[in-house]
Amino acid sequence: MTTLICNCNQTMPLDEAALSLALDEPLTLHRTLCRREAPAFQRAVRSPDELVVACTQEARLFSQLAEQTDGAVPADVRPIRFVNIRETGGWGREAAASTPKMAALLALAKLPDPQPVPTVTFRSEGRLLVVGPLEQAERIAATVADVLDVTLLSTGGAGMQDRPYPVLGGKVVSLTGWLGAFKLTRELTNPIDLDLCTRCNACVAACPEGAIGLDYQVDMAACKGHRACVSRCEVAGAISFSRTPATYADEFDLVLDLRVTPAFTQHAPPQGYWHVRPDADPAGLLAAVVALRDAVGEFDKPRFFQYKASVCAHGRNQTQGCNACVDVCSASAISGDLKRQQIKVNPHLCVGCGACTTVCPTGALTYVYPRVDDQGQRIKTLLQTYARAGGKQAVLLLHSQDAGTALINDLGRAAALTQPQPKPVASGIARFLGAQAPAASDEAGTIRGLPARVLPLALWHAASLGLEVWLSALAQGASQVWVLMTGAEAPQYRDAVRAQMAVAQSIMTGLGYSGQHLQLIEVRDARDLAALDATLAAPAAQTVGKPATFVAQPDKRATLELALDHLMQHAPHRTSGGDAGPADASVPLPVPAPLGTVAVDAERCTLCLSCVSACPAGALQDNPGQPQLRFVEKNCVQCGLCVKTCPEDAINLQPRLWLSGERLRPRVVAEAKPWQCVRCNKPFGTAKGIEAMLARLGGHAMFQGDALERLKMCSDCRVIDLYSSTTETKITDL
């Protein structure tokens, strides 16, 4: 492994000796690796060793230089890994103390790439539907018609006399699908059939109310029923006020929607669909046109998730339990299927936010881009390298790889530009920072940049990691876990992350760890740099006494248990008894917590065990030897299926973290005296259950006399009594 570091023309302090020691690799400090010292890079690309370059700004230049270097290892054989240690540490007020963070970021870049994941394929032949006013739709069609097969769906306006593109009429009933597979359903209710219309304009001239425009559709609100248009169109026969409404279905690969109200209202519309309002900025329309021109061919994207239906808590026996993933999905990619006791995820609509896996209490949905165990290894490497290099009180800052990375880079740049100087900030710098830019001579007003203890970790989406990973990071020595969200995230993602953080913080506080360990940082963009900078200066929270060494597991609940076990073992409130508190000690948790107990009303419970069959996690169990309902608290995900299934309304949920080791073992939560057969005295069922059945069926005509008495017998005796009875009519008697 070869690592190249550069202090970017001496604009940031780099301690090559300390970095060499932390990475166990001899490093050479460069000053202008992308310019005068480029031969050092060329020597490195000729070597077959893995190569890490501590610069992202000049990644394109380095890649081109590698291609032009004789004897260089091709990029498809040995990719070059670029890592940013400048904006994330070197350009900041705490740059001199950022060596442990830089070492951690460089160590992270050395990890092997995660295993590839399955892909989802889209195929587009370029069939574009443009929905909107004709004049605007025709102008846009002219810019893409050389590469796309364009069809227009008119919503009014005045079209050209010539029709270089097919024009559809009617009202949109539905528009569904995704890139390469959109399905349009429209209903024709207008008297003018555009397929028959010759656009001779005779009807337009004949209409005394002006109810027919150059979109060749009748405005029924303006039409007074003179029907002069019908007479003028007699030969073509395109106009009929008695025509029966008809429904048509069409298929397209791409859709450009120019209406005020979009066809897809979810936060993340399907790929292949662009919505540009009529009053939108021209730049937005230009971006859509450019994207449309490139949307022809075959495209692959990762299949971001895995689903294990066997542990899904969405439903049992036509009863809905957990609906968290369906509610949080901003792409409308998830729907419930109670008949099959599971959910359905459309991989073509999934945008890979991972929020569904974050809120899933059982781990039925898991994020695989990359997999949780790969992410866990990355986080563990960051924290361990940081600590080994002398870092203290690490903060794990999770952010999106696009908007979040851009914001962190802006923060680093602003920190470099606003270092205290004896003169005001230059006008160009002020323009970059916006109205909030302070004078550089104002010590209190300068941007400090990313603190030395804050370790940024880029994710595909900031909501893709949740409770079990956050707690694992805290168990592995992190002081805090912060999630940075910009205006790009859906509102329900923010709510979900905030709710999960409330659970995690309740656990940490309940175990006695002082301080604020979890925080959701919400900013818009570079306009909020000053606010972001101030938030990042928050004080540290109490860390675990001994960092854990476990690695995150593919199974969500297994990872969660590893983290909880370590945090409880080393909790400040831990007693000498081996648990984190007395046997009855517990930490109350807010809803929706994936941990907790059930309170069973023993007076109402009949031990019918319907809750056992409904429980997807095996938390509720029966006892084959005697009439008991047992409960394993560790397994409970608080999905509520038992509550909704119980016919006696005898169960309530209580979210909590029980600190006793008994949470790992079955305990009896309800038991009853067995009923004894009135004929052979063999125990079967429960006395309470049989008595409840007798009370409910005693007034039914089918259960009178001997029939009611048989309900008190075991299954064997019921059969014997039925066949030996002299009062029952037998088939042989008929």
Q: What is the pLDDT of residue 439?
A: 39
What is the DSSP secondary-structure string of 284-323? HHHHHHHHHHT--EEEEEE--EEE-GGG--SEETTEE---
Examine the pLDDT at 443 and tell me if it is beyond 70: no
Higher local confidence (pLDDT), 433 or 675: 675
pLDDT of residue 427: 46
Percent above pLDDT 70 for the chain: 94
Task: Return d(Cα 157, Cα 554) in angstroms, integer.
Answer: 56
pLDDT of residue 271: 97
Q: Do 210 and 198 touch, CB atoms closer than 8 A?
A: no
Cα(387)–Cα(103) distance, rounded to whole angstroms? 10
The answer on pLDDT for 682 being more than 90 is: no
CA–CA distance, 660 with 680 (Å, rounded to integer): 44
Determine the longest span between alpha carbons in the chain, in angstroms: 115
Q: What HEC string does 14-46 produce?
A: CCHHHHHHHHCCCCCEECCCCCCCHHHHHHHHH
Residue 124: which of 309, 298, 3 has the closest Cα? 298
Give the mean model confidence (pLDDT) for residues 504-523.
97
More confident residue, 444 or 157: 157
Helix or strand holding residue 262 (H, E): none
Task: Of 231-240, 352-361, 598-607, 716-725, give the range with the top mean pLDDT.
Answer: 352-361
Residue 81 has pLDDT above 90, yes or no: yes
Paired tokens of 513: 């760890």
The pLDDT of residue 679 is above 60: yes
Question: Is residue 577 predicted with pLDDT exceeding 90?
Answer: no
**Alpha-carbon gap, residue 93 to 537, rounded angstroms:** 11
How far, in Å, CA of 362 to CA of 556, rounded? 7
Q: 109 pLDDT exceeds 50?
A: yes
Q: Report residue 733's pLDDT band, with 50, 70 and 90 as the boundaries.
A: low
Lowest mean pLDDT among 186-190, 278-282, 517-521: 278-282
In the predicted model, is pLDDT for residue 729 greater than 80?
A: no
pLDDT of residue 423: 46
Least confident span in 32-36, 205-209, 420-424, 693-697: 420-424
According to the model, what pLDDT value does residue 162 have? 87
Which of 256, 253, 294 has the alpha carbon at shortest distance from 278?
Answer: 256
341, 508, 658 from 621: Cα distances, Å: 20, 30, 19
Indicate the pLDDT class of residue 424, thresholds 50, 70 and 90: very low
Q: What is the DSSP letter of 266?
A: S
Residues 6+ apart with CB under 8 A from 140: 130, 256, 258, 285, 289
- Cα separation, 675 vs 138, in Å, equals 81
Question: Looking at 103-117, 515-529, 689-703, 719-733, which range is the least confident one?
Answer: 719-733
How confident is the prediction for the chain on average, in pLDDT? Answer: 91
Q: Are 93 and 65 in contact (CB under 8 A)?
A: no
- The 3-state secondary structure of 127-188, one letter per residue: EEEEEECHHHHHHHHHHHCCCCEEEEEECCCCCCCCCCCCEECCEEEEEECCCCCEEEEEEE
Q: What angle do CA 363, 496, 108 make, to 5 degrees?
A: 65
Token pair for 387: 């600590």
On the question of pLDDT at 711 being above 50, the answer is yes
The residue whose two tokens read 């929905």 is 131
For residue 323, the model assigns a pLDDT of: 96
696-703 mean pLDDT = 85
Q: Is the peptide bond before 118 cis (omega within 30 degrees of 0)?
A: no
For residue 422, CA distances in Å to 94, 120, 243 come to 20, 57, 81
Residue 442 pLDDT greater than 50, yes or no: no
What are the distances in angstroms from CA 550 to CA 171, 197, 559, 561? 59, 73, 9, 11
Q: Which residues make Cβ contacts (< 8 Å) with residue 432, sequence separation at least 6?
A: 413, 414, 417, 526
In 3D, which of 441, 443, 460, 432 has the Cα closest to residue 529? 432
DSSP 58-91: THHHHHHHHHHSTTPPPTTTSPEEE---IIIIIS
Please, are residues 483 and 464 in contact by the beta-carbon 8 Å criterion?
no
Q: How far apart are CA 470 and CA 505, in angstroms?
A: 10
Cα–Cα distance between 353 and 369 in angstroms, integer?
Answer: 10
Dihedral (C-alpha) 397, 400, 406, 407: value to the nearest 10 degrees?
A: -50
The confidence score (pLDDT) of residue 445 equals 59
The strand pairing partners of 339, in sequence order, are: none
pLDDT band at residue 488 using 50, 70 and 90 as cut-offs:
confident
Asked whether residue 398 carries a pLDDT value surpassing 50, the answer given is: yes
What would the pLDDT profile of 306-346 be if each residue is shown by its tens digit? 999 999 999 998 899 999 999 999 999 999 999 999 999 99
- Identify whether the C-beta of residue 81 lies closer than 8 Å to the C-beta of residue 433: no
CA angle 387, 391, 397 (to 5 degrees): 90
